[in-house]
Chains A and B, each alone.
Chain A
Amino acid sequence: MKTSRVATYFKLPELSYRVWRVWRRDEDVFMKTYKANFIPPLLEPLFYLLGLGFGLGAFVQPQEGLPYIVFIAPALVASSMMTSSFFECTYGSFVRMYYQKTFDAIIATPLSLEEVIAGELLWGATKSLVNSSIVMVVIVLLGLAHSPFLLLIPPLSFLVGLFFAAIAMCFTAITPNIDSFNYPTILFTTPMFILSGTFFSITALPETVQVIANLFFPLTHAVALTRALAVGRLSTSLLLNLSWLLVTTPFFFVLSINLMKRRLIK
């Protein structure tokens, strides 16, 4: 009995090309207000770079051999992957599911709920790609990154975005109401934003915290990969970071779809 219950959470969804219809719907909404959508990801990194990079950076010793502002710039790209997809699939998906009844409307058409959720996750990943690319352009224009490997950051951002979208969708599937998203925000994304090797080298942390960060803070892997690509310092340890993301992303992708099915199909 118990094993079969667990198995339902990892049942592979049946998906078709129709997943992209949901993606297109969300994209249509985004493009309607694209001018307003591009401004926050453009301005936010500027504030961090000004305040932390130029301001605080004057007092901080180089991290991992990089000037402080060069060290944090790629981390801002990586954290925008996390926040944009996480917010899209928590608040954004919840509003569409609960307040707008958009999912109800779509599943009355040939699409299944599984396809709707998969489309939402792909859209979350796309938001990560769009927003982090804007931040990347900003840091390139400021001369803070210039490796040709930069071009691999957008595909990476889609993977990282898909991971955080799936985690977010798991929270959306179990949250009692929209206010409860404060908990994953304060307990999950905020500590990660600060402790994942973003603003100081992860080696500065106590060893146990380092282990925890590596095992349980997905942003650590995103930051390590993004920074390596931005400054052009590749090493074999990056394969571990990439493997971590490649293994966990499908796991949470499938889990989030099944949790949403449990919530919505009675």
Chain B
Amino acid sequence: MKSEVVIDAEGLTKEFGNLVAVDNINFQVFKGECFGFLGPNGAGKTTTMKMVHCVLPLTAGRLTVAGLDVTKQATEIKKMIGVAPQEDNLDPDFTVFHNLIVYARYFDIPKAEARKRAEELLRFVQLEEKSKVLIDQLSSGMKRRLILARALINEPQILLLDEPTTGLDPQARHLIWDKVRSLQKQGVTIALTTHYMEEAAQLCDRTVIMDNARIIEEGNPGDLIKKHVGEEVLEVAYDEEVLKFLRSAFPNSRLDVVSDRIQVFTQQPRGVFAQILTKFSFKAAMIRDANLEDVFLKLTGRRLKE
């Protein structure tokens, strides 16, 4: 039994002049899930997000949000979604509190209700003490939290988060993650973009990996890891002899040489690496869990994207 589709894209394409930013992609986001767009910078994630929240016209394809067509019912769609953009576009002319009040007005929220929601939201993102402070005086972590609060002012059923934690320290990042999880528990459907693999693994039920304007893989983060890089990775210091030996010991595995280390990926069950380490000793050997970053680098390559 499939649950209700909230965001539905078919053949979605966006071109800016000669540049194809999003190239004929298909995806579906289901009600109540947290869906991640993963990809390097320039992959087309933000462009996709902007089409979902009706500020960028499509070049081709079909895109609906809650069954409404983004090209025809933008106002209706924008009423029920919350958007936390990547760049800081808080209003520097106002205080923290007044930012929320002015934003509420765009949604026709009555003044008393707006004040109530603004107070609640500032508590939710732990900014109640900064209520009367101007935006300039906030740290970048506080700004991200306020942008999240602002995105929630219309009590959206769908929340779009574009790089919600880029540039934040670990404390601020974990706070945002907590908030996103608690919103998902309340039934909010969340679509986010990120290039932090850990973020996707922590938050997302399903992800698509984008590269060069296309979706190159799709699935649950755990499944993707198992499918592409197995459960464990063995890393040892680079040595010609060791490399030869590992090749013969793991003939069906992928071996990567990254700077001065050898990485061995296997589809065999957990424990094979531990076994071999009891028999042989390699310099600087380490067994670690495979992660989404391994998948990502395998699929998108190691070259720089920009």
User: Of the 9-residue stretches B83-91, B241-249, B270-278, B283-291, which lies at the interface with chain A?
Assistant: B83-91
Given contacts A100-B91, A101-B87, A112-B75, contact A266 B103 (CB under 8 A): no
- The answer to whether the Cβ of B144 comes within 8 Å of any Cβ in the partner chain is no
What is the distance, in angstroms, from B46's C-beta to the closest C-beta of chain A? Answer: 12
**A105 to B99 Cα, complex, angstroms:** 11
Q: Which residues of B contact A108 (CB under 8 A)?
A: 53, 55, 78, 83, 85
**Is A29 within 8 A of B106, CB to CB?**
no
Which of B56, B75, B94, B98 has a CB less than 8 Å from the CB of A110?
B75
Nearest CB in chain A to that of B78: its residue: A110
- The answer to whether the Cβ of B185 comes within 8 Å of any Cβ in the partner chain is no
What is the total number of residues of chain B having a CB less than 8 Å from a CB of chain A?
A: 27
A residues 71-121 in Cβ contact with B at 8 Å? 100-102, 104-112
What is the distance, in angstroms, from A102's C-beta to the closest C-beta of chain B? Answer: 6
Which of A28, A32, A109, A266 has a CB less than 8 Å from the CB of B106?
A109
Nearest CB in chain A to that of B151: its residue: A108
Q: Which residues of A contact B16 (CB under 8 A)?
A: 266
Q: Which residues of B contact A18 (CB under 8 A)?
A: 106
**A259 to B83 Cα, complex, angstroms:** 26
- The answer to whether the Cβ of B124 comes within 8 Å of any Cβ in the partner chain is no
What is the distance, in angstroms, from A71's C-beta to the closest C-beta of chain B? Answer: 40
Nearest CB in chain A to that of B147: its residue: A105
B residues 75-113 in Cβ contact with A at 8 Å? 75, 78-79, 83, 85, 87-94, 98, 102-103, 105-108
**Is B89 within 8 A of A102, CB to CB?**
yes
Q: Which residues of A contact B175 (CB under 8 A)?
A: none
What is the distance, in angstroms, from A253's C-beta to the closest C-beta of chain B? Answer: 21
- The answer to whether the Cβ of A11 comes within 8 Å of any Cβ in the partner chain is no
Interface centre among A24, A28, A105, A109 (most CB of B within 10 A): A109
- The answer to whether the Cβ of A146 comes within 8 Å of any Cβ in the partner chain is no
**Is A105 within 8 A of B89, CB to CB?**
yes
**Is A102 within 8 A of B78, CB to CB?**
no
**A265 to B71 Cα, complex, angstroms:** 13
Interface of B, secondary structure class, is: loop
What is the distance, in angstroms, from B47's C-beta to the closest C-beta of chain A? Answer: 10
- The answer to whether the Cβ of A263 comes within 8 Å of any Cβ in the partner chain is no
**Is B75 within 8 A of A105, CB to CB?**
no
Q: Which residues of A contact B79 (CB under 8 A)?
A: 110
- The answer to whether the Cβ of B61 comes within 8 Å of any Cβ in the partner chain is no
**Is B94 within 8 A of A24, CB to CB?**
no
Q: Which residues of A contact B105 (CB under 8 A)?
A: 21, 24-25
**Is B56 within 8 A of A111, CB to CB?**
no
**A265 to B50 Cα, complex, angstroms:** 11
What is the distance, in angstroms, from A103's C-beta to the closest C-beta of chain B? Answer: 9
- The answer to whether the Cβ of B57 comes within 8 Å of any Cβ in the partner chain is yes
Given contacts A101-B87, A112-B75, A266-B56, contact A106 B106 (CB under 8 A): yes
- The answer to whether the Cβ of B66 comes within 8 Å of any Cβ in the partner chain is no
**Is B94 within 8 A of A28, CB to CB?**
yes
**A29 to B92 Cα, complex, angstroms:** 10
**A155 to B91 Cα, complex, angstroms:** 31
Given contacts A100-B91, A105-B89, A105-B90, contact A110 B107 (CB under 8 A): yes
Q: Which residues of A contact B91 (CB under 8 A)?
A: 25, 100, 102, 105
**A266 to B19 Cα, complex, angstroms:** 12
What is the distance, in angstroms, from A88's C-beta to the closest C-beta of chain B? Answer: 14
**A111 to B88 Cα, complex, angstroms:** 19
Q: Which residues of A contact B83 (CB under 8 A)?
A: 108
**A138 to B272 Cα, complex, angstroms:** 90
Q: Which residues of B contact A107 (CB under 8 A)?
A: 55
**Is B106 within 8 A of A112, CB to CB?**
no
**A98 to B14 Cα, complex, angstroms:** 23
Nearest CB in chain B to that of A116: its residue: B106
- Can you list, as one digit per residue, whether each of A3-24 has a CB less than 8 Å from chain B (1) or not (0)? 0000000000000001001001
Q: Which residues of B contact A104 (CB under 8 A)?
A: 55, 85, 87, 89
**A87 to B92 Cα, complex, angstroms:** 20
**A87 to B75 Cα, complex, angstroms:** 31
Which of A25, A28, A100, A109 has a CB less than 8 Å from the CB of B78?
A109
- The answer to whether the Cβ of B197 comes within 8 Å of any Cβ in the partner chain is no
Q: Which residues of B contact A29 (CB under 8 A)?
A: 93-94
- The answer to whether the Cβ of B68 comes within 8 Å of any Cβ in the partner chain is no
What is the distance, in angstroms, from A242's C-beta to the closest C-beta of chain B? Answer: 35
Nearest CB in chain B to that of A29: its residue: B93
Q: Which residues of B contact A106 (CB under 8 A)?
A: 106
**A21 to B108 Cα, complex, angstroms:** 9
Which of B87, B92, B107 has a CB less than 8 Å from the CB of A109?
B107
What is the distance, in angstroms, from A127's C-beta to the closest C-beta of chain B? Answer: 15
4 new A-B pairs (CB below 8 Å) besides A101-B88, A105-B91, A108-B55? A18-B106, A25-B105, A104-B89, A110-B79
7 interchain pairs, CB-CB under 8 A: A28-B94, A28-B102, A104-B55, A109-B107, A110-B78, A265-B55, A266-B56
